[in-house]
Amino acid sequence: MANTKSITDTDERKKVKRAARKKAAPKGKRTGARGENKAKVKKAARGQSKR
């Protein structure tokens, strides 16, 4: 995407970013599930609660 850090006017910055997004090549399809790299949480032990 275009570097818009130097543009202070919000509307102008939006226009530049939108134009850059339209011009960019479309992203490819996902190769895996969305959350496959997230840290997995073990299920808490079932049964009687501790407190």
- pLDDT: which is higher, 4 or 29: 29
- Residue 1 pLDDT > 70, yes or no? no
pLDDT tens readout for residues 28-39: 998 999 889 888
Write down the H helix ranges in the chain: 10-23
Using only C-alpha atoms, the chain has a radius of gyration, in whole angstroms, of 22
Q: Which residues contact 2 (CB under 8 A, 6 or more apart)?
A: 16, 17, 19, 20
